[in-house]
Chains A and B, each alone.
Chain A
Amino acid sequence: GENVEQHPSTLSVQEGDSAVIKCTYSDSASNYFPWYKQELGKRPQLIIDIRSNVGEKKDQRIAVTLNKTAKHFSLHITETQPEDSAVYFCAASKGGSQGNLIFGKGTKLSVKP
């Protein structure tokens, strides 16, 4: 079945460094790729998303790139801050379904001051 692989599972960086999280997906019909940030005990928050008709999207310190040919997409966070510490989930839309998303297993990002 459809699958989304996410790496790494944990990531520790120093404040000010960049962080990169990568995901691959298997469903060639996927055309929407959101990223969510979840702090401990709280709801997942949408931080950025990208659709298949673009290769890159940027919002301040956050950027996402998409390579449809290779079926992978990445989240880039620059100038990391301690408040960026959280679990990040990537997701890919399930082709042929009404809005269903398949989530990666998450990356726990720790930003050390």
Chain B
Amino acid sequence: GAVVSQHPSRVICKSGTSVKIECRSLDFQATTMFWYRQFPKQSLMLMATSNEGSKATYEQGVEKDKFLINHASLTLSTLTVTSAHPEDSSFYICSASPNSGETQYFGPGTRLLVL
């Protein structure tokens, strides 16, 4: 139980394009999902908290117009990196909690490379 999927697993795009990443909880409903960014050999940095049916809560320093988050259902949250630039290249990981509590289960991550 508590399986989280993420799609795509990796994407290469040209600078200036937008990229959408999907995060799904497969066997549970998640009122809250989280989006993280992880640079090589570094820790998980929380970007935003995605709440079903309401606006996402962004961490300080994260541009909400750059990283659009939509949580339209209890099993799906999407992160759109708009007008991507090479500095946006990173490993993006989502997580979800099955009971609106603290226990988070992570997706497999999406490796984004912007050329």
Q: Mark A24-37, 1 if CB is under 8 A from B, else 0.
A: 00000000101010
B46 at the interface (CB under 8 A from A): yes
**Which residues of chain B have C-beta atoms less than 8 A from A97's C-beta?**
49
**Which residues of chain B have C-beta atoms less than 8 A from A93's C-beta?**
102
**Which residues of chain B have C-beta atoms less than 8 A from A100's C-beta?**
34, 46, 49
**Which residues of chain A have C-beta atoms less than 8 A from B104's C-beta?**
34, 46, 99, 101
Contact between chains at A46 and B46 (CB < 8 Å): no
Interface residues on A, range: 20 to 34
Main secondary structure of the interface of A (DSSP, over half): strand
B105 at the interface (CB under 8 A from A): yes
Q: Mark B84-112, 1 if CB is under 8 A from A, else 0.
A: 00000000010001001111111111000
Question: How many B residues touch A, CB cutoff 8 Å?
Answer: 23
B44 at the interface (CB under 8 A from A): yes
Q: Which residue of A lies closest to B91 (CB)?
A: A41
A44 at the interface (CB under 8 A from B): yes
A72 at the interface (CB under 8 A from B): no
**Interchain CB contact (< 8 A) of B106 among A32, A43, A98, A108:** A43
C-alpha gap A108/B43 in the complex (Å) = 11
**Interchain CB contact (< 8 A) of A98 among B32, B43, B44, B108:** B32
A67 at the interface (CB under 8 A from B): no
